[in-house]
Structure 1
Amino acid sequence: MPHIPLRVLVLEDHSFQRSVAVNLLRQLGCQAVFEAADGAEALAVLQACGPVDIALCDLHMEGMDGLEFLQRIGNTGQVGSIIISSSLSGDLRRSVRQIISLLGLEFLGDLGKPLRLEALESLLKKRLRARGTRRPPRRPPEVLQEDEIRHALAEHQLQAYYQPKFDLHTGDVCGVEVLARWEHPSKGVLSPALFMPVLERCGLMDQLLFRQMEQALTLQHKVRGLGHTLNMAFNLQAEQLTNDQLAPRIKALLARHSAVGAGLTFELTENGLLEASETSIKNLVRLRMMGCSLAIDDFGAGFSSLQRLCLLPFTEIKLDAEFVRTLKQEPRCQAAIYSTLALGRALDMSVVVEGIETDEQRRHLLRLGANIGQGYLCARPMSEADLLGWLSQQRICA
């Protein structure tokens, strides 16, 4: 009999099914297998026998149910990971998975009922692999000071990086999203998570935006000289739209670079537009009148998407990457993607699907009717020099 160095607790109120689970785990060679008929008994087992690697949990039980048990053990370190084994409907089990994540517990898998030996063995091996490759906890991110950020802006250390959008059918590049990276002289390339909050707090977002636009429009001119047209997409925050000089400044910048608004897209997250002011709407309208496209970013992550689409002059929907991450496991995500694509067609808006990392996801999205995507499958964000070299090997949409 094989030996698997795992301690497993079976939480199941049906005596026969509990016996089946215990026997399967012992057949697979688990180091120790404990059992309990409800949550209260499971807590007592943990108290008496110590922590376990895995809790195999039913959810609907008399007495303390699986949900309360999970809540009691969240962040206690008593259970390494959770396997759900329940006859509840798929939508309820998916919601429980979210609860597990919010409680700080590791979700290992959902086996449903009845238990199958092969599926259970696969999850046990998954747990062993995870334990063998677990990394030490990350150090908390460094807190950067305002004077450091201002110095970085003055010294042009905050550089525009570019992540392509691509045609899912052909792989052709359709445009790029302009992102910010800090090319620190001693610390290397720093993530925006380290400096963006300081820029926002200190009112420096406009300074960053126009620095990025200067760089991106210069690059756009270079690419145009090579016979290509490359749309540049910039992130805008709702707060920036309250500045009545925003659109005039962008118009002047375009004139200075002999560029046209049709070559630009501005991406706005829906959460920041819950109460758009008169000035905000006026800026959006002026940007559209200049020929710029407007994208609602992270679509589906907020609470008022449809209202925003109806009231504000958007031309593009960027579907949040979370829908793609769970595309294979979550039938509802497939329905949400399909419905968003249909909505885009009905509103005459393009839809860009974010977060595409595998060719399997690309093919699945094509079957759902998607055309344009963004993600690591095509390319990661890159510097201007790297982008120019990369583009020389790619095709660009006309």
Structure 2
Amino acid sequence: MRALVIDDDDLVRRTLAGILTSMQVEVTQAADGFAAIDQIETSPTPFDVIFCDLQMPGRDGIQTLRDLADRRVTSGLILLSGHTRDIVASAENTARHHALNVLGHLYKPFDRAKINVLLEAASRPRRIPQMTSNREPLTAADLRRGLAANEFILAFQPKVNPATGVVEGVEALVRWMHERYGPIPPVEFISLAEESALIDPLTDAVMRLAVAGYHDLREGHLDIPIAVNLSTRSMTRLDMADRLRASVIDGEASPEGFVFEVTESQLADNMTAFLETATRLRLMGFKLSIDDFGTGFSTMEQVSRLPVSELKIDRAFVAGAPDNPRTRHILEASLQLGHSLNLKCVCEGVETSNEWELVRRLGTDTVQGYFVAKPMGLAALRSWITEWEAKWPLLNPNSA
């Protein structure tokens, strides 16, 4: 393994280099960001890992991160600092926004065991998100054909009460099973649907599937609501409330069995039309939820006048909260805000046992995320509920 150590303090740099050398790592040293870039550009092969100090004269660590990003450096990155945790966390977030391969950080003085853990992480292949395939961009004609061919399906992700273990609902997540390209995630076709005036036909298709799911669940004696994502563009159409109600009533379902989720970042575009549609939906018996709460620009006053019944707190404020006091305070404040407005609070994107335990302790009403379950078909959902009920006492021994 080859490492580059960037630090202006000779003693610190040499100390770390000595530790790494004793661990059979080939070390190159650089006293500042300029020297580091020279080493990177002249190195015959990429470094496996780069240790970068944050506090350096001339060109600090944050500027050096930008230099690394500009050169598309893929080496594992470990930040060195004696600063407070919030500053180090901000530096790591900056590096991730630059798409750098952040492995973690080391505080001074160095912990040999922590170095070993980070080096093990550096030795593992980096997982780089891939697009669906090297195919031509999707077009409105593709989407129109897919709708006509009924290529869209729903996957259902459970939402559970962390205090009781009860499954209190599911979110219906649309997937496009393209005849040529296979599964296509929503991020690749929702914007296309909005831009090509096909979002309403897509919503109609999703509602037909959701209503079918409503009946399937009740046949299995699962009287739980189904959450469906709505585009804000649809919510600002004055006929949308009637359209959604017709989908449910014509399908012999009940509005009380559905929750419509709207992303917070899109709320302010046409608040008057949104409020009209939202209020009519609530009068019809539907529930409304603000999705990805905390990532948009809603004010407390704006949230307080929306006729919503639920806040879904974004994964960004759940991930890392067990170890990051600042993120944890934001998460706790969001839960307190929701409860002060008499709203049900859902923490989404819970993926680890530490995150589960934290949001449970902070008083979230419902949890959704891979720690509980991944999205699945209805048959798998019924089997999963049986398994979950057996697993629950192990997750919460005090529930008995």
Query: Under a length normalisation based on structure 1, what TM-score does the superposition of the two structures give?
Result: 0.89
CA distance in 2, matches of 1:62, 1:221: 66
Q: Tell me, yes or no, if structure 1 residue 199 matches structure 2 residue 193.
A: yes
CA distance in 2, matches of 1:102, 1:154: 39
Q: Which residue of 1 aligns with 2:233?
A: 239
CA distance in 2, matches of 1:211, 1:127: 45
Q: Which residue of 1 aligns with 2:292?
A: 298
Q: Which residue of 1 aligns with 2:23?
A: 28
Q: Which residue of 1 aligns with 2:398?
A: none
- Cα pair distance change 1:108/1:394, threshold 3 Å: closer
Question: SS at the partner of 1:74?
Answer: helix
Q: Which residue of 2 aligns with 1:98?
A: 93
Question: SS at the partner of 2:75?
Answer: strand
Describe how 1:274-289 pairs up with structure 2 within 5 A: 274-289=268-283
Q: Tell me, yes or no, if structure 1 residue 337 matches structure 2 residue 331.
A: yes
Q: Tell me, yes or no, if structure 1 residue 262 matches structure 2 residue 245.
A: no
CA distance in 1, matches of 2:249, 2:130: 50
Partners of 2:322 and 2:354 within 8 A in 1: no
Q: Tell me, yes or no, if structure 1 residue 183 matches structure 2 residue 174.
A: no
CA distance in 1, matches of 2:261, 2:328: 24
- Cα pair distance change 1:143/1:117, threshold 3 Å: same
Stretch of structure 1 that moved more, 69-78 or 11-20: 69-78
Partners of 2:314 and 2:349 within 8 A in 1: yes
- Cα pair distance change 1:21/1:392, threshold 3 Å: closer
- Cα pair distance change 1:188/1:383, threshold 3 Å: farther
Stretch of structure 1 that moved more, 369-378 or 35-44: 35-44
Q: Deviations over 1:77-116 (max 9, x none)?
A: 5561221111122211111112212223211211111112
Q: Tell me, yes or no, if structure 1 residue 153 matches structure 2 residue 121.
A: no
CA distance in 2, matches of 1:42, 1:189: 43
Deviation at 1:221, TM superposition (A): 2.7
Stretch of structure 1 that moved more, 108-117 or 178-187: 178-187
Match of 1:122 among 102, 105, 117: 117
Match of 1:346 among 340, 346, 353: 340
CA distance in 2, matches of 1:60, 1:128: 27
Deviation at 1:140, TM superposition (A): 4.5
Deviation at 1:160, TM superposition (A): 2.6
Match of 1:68 among 59, 63, 72: 63
Q: Which residue of 1 aligns with 2:364?
A: 370
Q: Tell me, yes or no, if structure 1 residue 56 matches structure 2 residue 16.
A: no
Q: Tell me, yes or no, if structure 1 residue 171 matches structure 2 residue 165.
A: yes
Deviation at 1:305, TM superposition (A): 4.8
- Cα pair distance change 1:284/1:54, threshold 3 Å: same
CA distance in 1, matches of 2:43, 2:388: 60
- Cα pair distance change 1:267/1:62, threshold 3 Å: same
Question: SS at the partner of 1:168?
Answer: coil
- Cα pair distance change 1:364/1:40, threshold 3 Å: same
Match of 2:105 among 100, 107, 110: 110
Partners of 1:141 and 1:194 within 8 A in 2: no
Question: SS at the partner of 2:269?
Answer: coil
Amino acid at match of 1:238: T
Q: Which residue of 1 aligns with 2:11?
A: 16
Amino acid at match of 1:103: H
Q: Deviations over 1:256-286 (max 9, x none)?
A: 2343322211100111112334222111111
Match of 1:360 among 354, 363, 379: 354
CA distance in 2, matches of 1:81, 1:168: 36
Amino acid at match of 1:12: D
Percent identical: 32
Partners of 2:155 and 2:175 within 8 A in 1: yes
- Cα pair distance change 1:63/1:218, threshold 3 Å: closer
CA distance in 2, matches of 1:66, 1:227: 58
Partners of 1:171 and 1:378 within 8 A in 2: no
Give the number of equivalent residue pairs.
387
Question: SS at the partner of 1:130?
Answer: coil
CA distance in 2, matches of 1:281, 1:136: 37
Q: Which residue of 1 aligns with 2:392?
A: none
Structure 2 residues not aligned, in runs of 5+: 390-400
Q: Which residue of 1 aligns with 2:306?
A: 312
Amino acid at match of 1:147: A
Deviation at 1:129, TM superposition (A): 2.2
CA distance in 1, matches of 2:356, 2:220: 29
Amino acid at match of 1:314: V
Deviation at 1:222, TM superposition (A): 3.6
CA distance in 1, matches of 2:201, 2:73: 49
Q: Which residue of 2 aligns with 1:3?
A: none
- Cα pair distance change 1:70/1:261, threshold 3 Å: same
- Cα pair distance change 1:358/1:141, threshold 3 Å: farther
Q: Deviations over 1:331-365 (max 9, x none)?
A: 22211221111112111000111112233321222
Partners of 2:304 and 2:341 within 8 A in 1: no
Q: Tell me, yes or no, if structure 1 residue 162 matches structure 2 residue 153.
A: no
Describe how 1:204-243 pairs up with structure 2 within 5 A: 204-243=198-237
Partners of 1:10 and 1:35 within 8 A in 2: yes
CA distance in 1, matches of 2:173, 2:311: 18
Q: Deviations over 1:91-147 (max 9, x none)?
A: 11111112212223211211111112111122112111236xx67976556522222
Task: Please give the root-mean-square deviation of Cα atoms over the aligned residues, in Å.
Answer: 2.4
